[in-house]
Amino acid sequence: MSGLGRILILGATGQLGRELQRSFAGAGEIVYPGRERADMASPEQVRELVRSIAPDLILNAAAYTAVDRAETERELAMAINAGAPQALAEEAARRNALLVHYSTDYVFDGARQGPWVETDEPNPLNVYGASKLAGEAAISAVGGRHLIFRTSWVYGPHGKNFMLTMLRLGRERDLLRVVDDQIGAPTTSIELARATRAVVDSVLTGASKSPEDWAGLYHMTCQGSTSWCGFARAIFAGTASLRNGRQPELEPIPSSDYPTPARRPANSVLSNLKLTERFGVQLAPWETALQTAISRL
């Protein structure tokens, strides 16, 4: 064992989990148990797992992320997004391990003009957002050595995400109608994992060892913002050569023309100022991060 010690990655098969495996490779002894050993719906199993693995660092990329399905699976979403993080925080505190957890822009109602800051009042519009907010609260209540990174519109070369869905639909259809009145920051799993590693390195190897100096909640997204339709436009522009120049037509539509079970915030852009000021860490502009993600397709 070396460097950062034993690192437990939960949700290692997810978009972010895969990238965390890459960015923490060589940083320590990485352990990433599958779902059969780590069912996040069972806090008891989560506790037993942490006790048996005895990690120094826990990276929790596991989550219930089906935003619309959560409306009818509230209990399961709450168990995975709030119950499991609480168990992780308590077990991490017992052994003084560092817990890194991720939350969402969907804790906000979208009514603010301009980027949201960490001290703004959350008011989730949907069950997923409420379950993630409950997870944040549970971890904060335990306190200790923890970092919660709120991020947004996560996508990357693998998994289930907007970019890959657009590329598939673009092959199947000539016209795509895409929501244009929700604004956010598309953020790659690649940038998130890179920034996570930078912050963890700064916390674990930096001069400031006291959690009072660094523990807590930070917004962590790529720079800039766009609408889903603007994001789709950039995805197709950036991948034209992969599709022999074939471009589907994009029609911007209001959210009211694309009803979904879960309501979503109109503006979920997050200010990253606290992250940058505290750790000197900044994610790439979303357009640059998109090009990197496309180059990995």
Comparing C-alpha atoms, which of 199, 214, 285, 166 is closest to residue 24?
A: 199
Catalytic annotation on 102?
A: no
Contacts of 1 (CB under 8 A, 6+ apart): 28, 29
* Residues between 171 and 190 that touch ligand NAP (CB under 6 A): 189
Q: Which of 232, 235, 238, 198 is nearest to 218 (CA)?
A: 198
* Shortest spacing between CB 268 and ligand NAP, in angstroms: 9
User: Tokens standing for 194?
Assistant: 């890179």
The interface with ligand NAP within residues 6-65 (CB under 6 A) comprises 11, 13-17, 35, 38-41, 61-65
Give how far the C-alpha of residue 14 lies from the chain's centroid of Cα atoms, to the nearest Å: 10
Among 187, 178, 123, CA closest to 150:
187
Selected from 21, 23, 86, 104, the binder of ligand NAP by CB under 6 A is: 104
Number of chain residues interacting with ligand NAP (CB under 6 A): 27
Stretch that binds ligand NAP, among 24-32, 48-56, 102-110, 229-237 (CB under 6 A): 102-110
In the complex, least distance from residue 164 CB atom to ligand NAP, rounded to whole angstroms: 11
Amino acid identity for residue 29 in this structure? E
Q: Is 238 helix (H, G, I), strand (E, B) or coil?
A: helix
Which residue, 28 or 156, has its beta carbon nearer to ligand NAP? 156
Instruction: Decide whether 227 or 244 has the Cβ nearer to ligand NAP.
Output: 227
Site string for ligand NAP, 191-230 (x = CB under 6 A): ----------------------------------------
**Closest CB to ligand NAP among residues 91, 105:** 105
How does DSSP classify residue 70?
G
- Measured at the CA of 67, the angle between CA 65 and CA 70, to 5 degrees, comes to 95
Q: How far is the CB of 64 from ligand NAP (least distance, A)?
A: 6
Among candidate residues 32, 64, 102, 128, the one labeled active-site is 128
Instruction: Please report how close the Cβ of residue 38 comes to ligand NAP at its closest, in angstroms.
Output: 5
Q: Least distance to ligand NAP from the beta carbon of 276, Å?
A: 19
Count Cβ atoms within 10 A of the Cβ of residue 162 and give its class: 0-12 exposed, 13-18 middle, 19 or more buried: middle
Cα(206)–Cα(68) distance, rounded to whole angstroms? 41
Q: Does 116 bind ligand NAP (CB under 6 A)?
A: no
Among 80, 97, 134, 166, the residue binding ligand NAP under the rule CB under 6 A is: 80
Residue 8's beta-bridge partner residues?
Answer: 31, 58
Which residue has tokens 């996560």? 154
- Write each residue from 148 to 167 as x if it is in contact with ligand NAP (CB under 6 A), else as -, in one continuous string: ---xxxx----x--------
- Cβ proximity to ligand NAP: between 9 and 176 the closer is 9
Task: Quickly count: other Cβ atoms within 10 Å of residue 197's Cβ.
Answer: 20
Q: How far is CA 150 from the centre of its chain?
A: 7
- Single-letter amino acid code for the residue at 157: P
Nearest-approach distance from CB 62 to ligand NAP, in angstroms: 4
3-state secondary structure at position 58: strand
Q: Which residue is nearest to ligand NAP (CB)?
A: 14
Interface with ligand NAP by CB under 6 A: which residues? 11, 13-17, 35, 38-41, 61-65, 80, 102, 104-105, 132, 151-154, 159, 189
- List residues with catalytic annotation: 128
